[in-house]
Amino acid sequence: MAMRGVDVQVAASKLNRLSHPGLPTTFATMDKQTKGTRKDRAAVKADEVTVDLIAFVVAVNDNEPCVLTIGQADTLPSGPFALEHRSLQSGLRGWVEQQTGHPLGYIEQLYTFADRDRIGSGRRQRAISISYLALTRKEQASGSPKCGWRSWYEYFPWEDHRSGTPPMLLDVLRPRLIEWANSVGDAAMRRERRQRAAMAFGFDDRHWNEELTLQRYELVYEAGLVQEAGSGRDTTRASLVPSKPMVADHRRIVATGIARLRSKIKYRPVVFELMPQSFTLLQLQRTVEALAGRLINKPNFRRLIEQQELVEETGETSVDTGGRPARLYRFRHAVLDETPIVGTKLPVARG
């Protein structure tokens, strides 16, 4: 944990971000951080701070998980938190609707970052970014001028394991990461880097864990294998791994959101925010698979859905399946008023 904390810290500072949603820091980083911050509370005047709201909006179309972007560049919808906003959430909703014409449904706060000493209009100022995850359906798009949906796997090609392990993971990423690990002098640190890479990407007979999206992004970023638009980094060598960059640190926010979503679908029925009113069980499964980036065992998935009583039949059937017609289901909204499904992992004493 200690060493992990240090390395995440290093990675983060390269991104000019010192707060990060990844693994928390611990004692190892404490000494350095606490120095130079002692000041009397009254003596600290309210410095210039701007607060930005930034949205990672997700929809699934044709079994492809998509992120809503604006402009020609790959940019997430965002805007400053202003006085007329009634709340953080309403401010975010306003910006997204204005920039994309897309009304938001489910919203969940992701993480708050602090930019480091952004120079604004002559004097130093801090920028705070509060990021949100939003789930919606594509058809609700009112076709706004300059916004679009892009598969999030364009930005994270190594995250899609639905057709097996992507070739580029073993052919490109692995050798580059090993090279990066070996490029450091200290033997212990070399081993530690290799182990981190192996754990995050499932090398060396380890299992692929789809929830480690953020750790993987931080790793490839730290290794200089990806480059973001507008960053002054000098990684112009051809050692970059093929993937689409985003503006500033938006790709990091997307990675945070993917990780959160992949974790959340396992204990909360949030998938249905992405589904149409009625759907077949296979459509539901394909949507989950799109998010998780891996295939799911069909009979077991159906059993899981049924025994949790998440859905109910509409009585109708879908014909456009290509084979036997499938029953159509709808989400049982009543489950939200019943016992919330949370993961218990402690041997609690019942009664």
Partner DNA sequence: TCCCTTATAGTCAAACGGATTATAATTGGA
Partner DNA sequence: TCCAATTATAATCCGTTTGACTATAAGGGA
Q: Indicate which single residue of 46, 187, 188, 349 sits in contact with DNA (rule: CB under 7 A).
A: 349
Task: Indicate whether 297 belongs to the interface with a second copy (CB under 8 A).
Answer: yes
Neighbour tally for 119: CB within 10 Å: 8
Q: Which string of x and - marks every residue 140-169 that binds a second copy (by CB under 8 A)?
A: ------------------------------
Which residues, numbered 43-72, are part of the site for a second copy (CB under 8 A)? Answer: 44, 46-51
Dihedral angle over CA of 87, 21, 260, 223, nearest 10: 140
CA-based torsion, 47, 247, 200, 238: positive or negative: negative
Cβ distance to a second copy smaller for residue 146 or 333: 333
39 contact, one of a second copy, DNA, none, CB 5-8 Å limit per kind: a second copy
Tokens of 124: 């130093």
User: What own/partner pairs with CB < 8 Å and gap ≥ 24 does 91-99 have?
Assistant: 91/53, 92/53, 92/54, 92/55, 92/132, 92/134, 95/53, 95/55, 96/55, 96/57, 96/68, 96/134, 99/70, 99/144, 99/147
Task: Indicate whether 36 belongs to the interface with a second copy (CB under 8 A).
Answer: yes
Select the span of 124-132, 182-190, 233-241, 316-324 touching a second copy (CB under 8 A): 124-132
Cβ distance to DNA smaller for residue 228 or 289: 289
Task: Indicate whether 123 belongs to the interface with DNA (CB under 7 A).
Answer: no
Contact 196, 219 (CB under 8 A): yes
Cβ distance to a second copy smaller for residue 37 or 72: 37
Contact 57, 97 (CB under 8 A): no
86 contact, one of DNA, a second copy, none, CB 5-8 Å limit per kind: a second copy
Which residues, numbered 297-326, are part of the site for DNA (CB under 7 A)? Answer: 297-300, 302-304, 317, 319, 321-326
DSSP-derived secondary structure for 50-79: EEEEEEEEEEEETTEEEEEEETTTTB--EE
Residue from 206, 189, 209 nearest 198 by CA: 206
- Strand 64-70 and strand 147-151: pairing? antiparallel
Q: Indicate which single residue of 104, 247, 254, 274 sits in contact with a second copy (rule: CB under 8 A).
A: 104
Tokens of 303: 């059993």
Select the span of 20-28, 61-69, 145-153, 246-254 touching a second copy (CB under 8 A): 20-28
- Strand 123-135 and strand 49-61: pairing? parallel
Phi, psi of 80 (to 5 degrees): -70, 145
322 contact, one of a second copy, DNA, none, CB 5-8 Å limit per kind: DNA
Count of residues of this chain found to bind a second copy when the rule CB under 8 A is applied: 100
Which residues, numbered 281-300, are part of the site for DNA (CB under 7 A)? Answer: 281-282, 297-300
Tokens of 338: 């019943």
Q: Which string of x and - marks every residue 240-279 that binds DNA (by CB under 7 A)?
A: ----------------------------------------
Which residues, numbered 192-231, are part of the site for a second copy (CB under 8 A)? Answer: 192, 195-196, 199, 206-207, 209, 211-212
Query: Residue 6, exposed/middle/buried by CB under 10 A (0-12, 13-18, 19+)?
Result: middle
Residue type, 181: A
Question: Least separation, in Å, of the C-beta of 103 and DNA?
Answer: 30
326 contact, one of DNA, a second copy, none, CB 5-8 Å limit per kind: DNA
327 contact, one of DNA, a second copy, none, CB 5-8 Å limit per kind: DNA
Q: What is residue 206's DSSP assignment?
A: P
Cβ distance to DNA smaller for residue 232 or 347: 347
Q: How far is CA 133 from the centre of its chain?
A: 8
Cβ distance to a second copy smaller for residue 242 or 341: 341
Residues near DNA, by CB under 7 A: 280-282, 297-300, 302-304, 317, 319, 321-327, 344-351
